């Protein structure tokens, strides 16, 4: 009797011990017995560079979440080297940066601008993730980015063509060192590699009067008589026509990672994957559909808005009289979006373009090899991987059609950045 009782007690102890051991590595969010957390978040595998200026490089990645890919992690550790890719073995020799973002929930897009870098420098970046218990993930994939010199060759110039009634195609000298462009109804914007904005063309509402300090910008957008500039600190500056509040950036003016402009409304994408819109809302163009989450890009037409989700699907809302908000076919595998006055464009991961809305002419054949898209007033632009621009609608192709690296479209004119 005594022996059997001992055996029974031992067997219970063994079972309990094994159960406790399994709970230590279990992903059960509500274990019966509290145990120490020894499971680290998964390593990030999709870290990539989004762009650079003279002293900054932009990074983005997908939040890995906490243990077992759920919830949110506790902190990030972003580092760089100047001598080569970061690996597990040389991680401790890499320089840690300051100001890493607070981790979002698993699956959301993260973005971060590394500041304080040297001009004309090549940097390799990687990151690790920790949970609240101090368990650190493995090292992410390592990516490289090069800061700009601040005096890039004059060959990085803007070509402008189409309507020129207000001088929107007359690029002011020196026509060099541009890294991004945007076009409104009668005005144009160019972002320089030093973070300053140049504006020209119609200026009836002050849309070409860039507010001071004209520095630290990393992106631009324009439409109608409104201009938007995104700063490296995540704030948005808006100027020009403000009759319906399209220049009154909603509070808090922080954590923005992208901007877009409609004719009388403005849109900003936050670092947490949500979209904020302000200005005219007569057609619901500022009413972001639920769930307002997991967005990675935004675009704005005349009176409607488009958002690209992290899963490659597109959401559109606002005025829909030409079905510009009705995404056709398989709503998946989109990697970028654009909007014209009343038509929408989506670039697929295979390099093809899908267009919907007011688009009688369709995408010219062959519909392949595209790397960027832009929509204007009754026309569209597609940039090919070979540096040529394909135009359909009421605008002509610029000549010579070679060496382009970026495009933008206004109501009746096109802009392209060219390397010569």
The whole-number pLDDT of residue 360 equals 57
* Measured distance CA(378)–CA(112) in Å, rounded: 36
Q: Are residues 303 and 391 in the same domain?
A: yes
**350 within a domain of the structure (yes/no):** yes
Are 188 and 87 found together in one domain? no
Q: Cα separation of 185 and 167, whole Å?
A: 11
- Token pair, residue 271, equals 């670092």
Tell whether 142 and 232 lie within a shared domain: no
Three-state DSSP class for 19?
helix
CA pair distance 30, 142, nearest whole angstrom:
35
Query: Is 135 inside a domain boundary?
Result: yes
| CA–CA dist 127, 420 (Å, integer) | 36
Residues 6+ apart with CB under 8 A from 219: 180, 191, 229, 230, 258, 259
277 and 338 share one domain: yes
pLDDT at position 33 is 57
Find out whether 377 and 222 touch, Cβ atoms under 8 Å: no
Q: CA-CA distance, 312 to 348, in Å (whole number)?
A: 9
User: Which two three-digit tokens encode residue 126?
Assistant: 């990687």
**346 neighbors 327 (Cβ within 8 angstroms):** yes
Those residues of the chain that have pLDDT short of 50 are 1-25, 154
Distance between alpha carbon 207 and the CA centroid of its chain, in Å?
24
Inter-CA distances, 181 with 39, 48, 193, 349, 356, Å: 46, 22, 12, 23, 24
Residues 162 and 110 both lie in one domain: no
Residue 270: what are its φ and ψ, rounded to 5°? -90, 160
Domain that holds residue 89: 48-146
Give the predicted TM-score (pTM) of the model: 0.68
Alpha carbon 99 to chain centroid, angstroms: 19
CATH number, domain of 389, equals 2.130.10.30
On whether the CB atoms of residues 80 and 125 are closer than 8 A, the answer is yes
Asked if residue 140 and residue 74 are part of one domain, the reply reads: yes
Residues 172 and 93 in one domain: no
The total number of residues shown for the chain amounts to 420
Of 146, 177, 194, which marks where a domain is finished? 146
One domain for residues 303 and 407: yes
Cα–Cα distance measured from residue 383 to residue 166, given in angstroms and rounded to the nearest whole number: 26
Residue 109 lies in a domain: yes
The residue from 117, 146, 175 where one domain ends is: 146
Q: State which of 121, 146, 171 marks the end of a domain.
A: 146
Same domain, 80 and 218: no
Q: Are residues 268 and 329 in the same domain?
A: yes
Same domain? For 336 and 391 the reply is yes
Please report whether residue 16 resides in a domain. no
Where is 24: in which H helix or E strand? helix 2-24
Closest CA to 155 of 179, 136, 131: 179
Distances (CA, A) of 6 to 3, 10, 13: 5, 6, 11
Asked whether residue 186 falls in the same domain as residue 245, the answer is: yes
- The answer to whether residue 295 is domain-embedded is yes
Say if residue 322 is exposed, middle or buried (CB neighbours under 10 Å; 0-12, 13-18, 19+).
middle
DSSP 72: B
Is residue 2 included in any domain, yes or no?
no
Q: Which CATH number is 125's domain given? A: 2.60.40.10
Q: Is 18 helix (H, G, I), strand (E, B) or coil?
A: helix
CA angle 79, 83, 87 (to 5 degrees): 55
Q: Does any domain span residue 10?
A: no
List the 217-223 sheet strands across, edge first: 217-223, 226-231, 236-240
Q: Has residue 262 been placed in a domain? A: yes
Number of domains observed in the structure of the chain: 2
């Amino acid at each position: 009797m005594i022996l059997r009782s001992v055996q029974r007690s031992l067997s219970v102890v063994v079972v309990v011990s094994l159960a406790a051991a399994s709970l230590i590595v279990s992903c059960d969010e509500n274990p019966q017995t509290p145990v120490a957390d020894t499971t680290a978040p998964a390593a990030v595998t999709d870290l990539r560079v989004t762009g650079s200026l003279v002293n900054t490089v932009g990074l983005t990645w997908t939040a890995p979440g906490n243990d077992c890919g759920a919830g949110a992690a506790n902190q990030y550790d972003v580092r760089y080297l100047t001598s080569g890719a970061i690996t597990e073995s040389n991680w401790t020799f890499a320089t840690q940066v300051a100001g890493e973002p607070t981790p979002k929930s698993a699956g959301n897009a993260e973005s971060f601008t590394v500041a304080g870098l040297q001009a004309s420098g090549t940097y390799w970046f990687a990151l690790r993730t920790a949970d609240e218990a101090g368990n650190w993930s493995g090292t992410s994939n390592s990516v490289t980015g090069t800061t700009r010199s601040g005096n890039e060759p004059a060959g990085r110039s803007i070509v402008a063509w189409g309507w020129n009634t207000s001088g929107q195609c007359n690029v002011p000298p020196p026509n060099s060192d541009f890294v991004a462009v945007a076009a409104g109804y009668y005005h144009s914007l160019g972002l320089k590699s030093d973070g300053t904005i140049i504006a020209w063309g119609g200026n009836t509402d002050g849309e070409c009067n860039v507010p001071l300090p004209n520095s630290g910008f990393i992106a631009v957008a324009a439409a109608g008589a409104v201009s938007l500039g995104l700063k490296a600190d995540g704030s948005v500056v808006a100027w020009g026509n403000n009759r319906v509040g399209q220049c009154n950036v909603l509070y808090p003016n922080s954590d923005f990672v992208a901007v877009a402009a409609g004719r009388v409304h403005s849109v900003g994408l936050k670092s947490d994957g949500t979209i904020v819109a302000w200005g005219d809302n007569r057609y619901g163009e500022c009413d972001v559909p639920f769930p307002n989450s997991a967005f990675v890009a935004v675009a704005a037409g005349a009176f409607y808005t488009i958002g690209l989700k992290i899963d490659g699907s597109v959401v559109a809302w606002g005025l829909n009289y030409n079905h510009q908000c009705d995404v056709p076919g398989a709503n998946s595998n989109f990697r970028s979006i654009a909007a014209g006055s009343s038509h929408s464009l989506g670039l697929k991961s295979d390099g093809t373009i899908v267009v919907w809305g007011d688009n009688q002419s369709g995408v010219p054949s062959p519909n392949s090899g595209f790397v960027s898209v832009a929509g204007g007033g009754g026309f569209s632009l597609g940039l090919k991987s070979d540096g040529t621009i394909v135009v359909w609608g009421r605008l002509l192709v610029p000549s010579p059609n070679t060496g382009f690296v970026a495009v933008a479209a206004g109501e009746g004119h096109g802009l392209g950045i060219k390397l010569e």
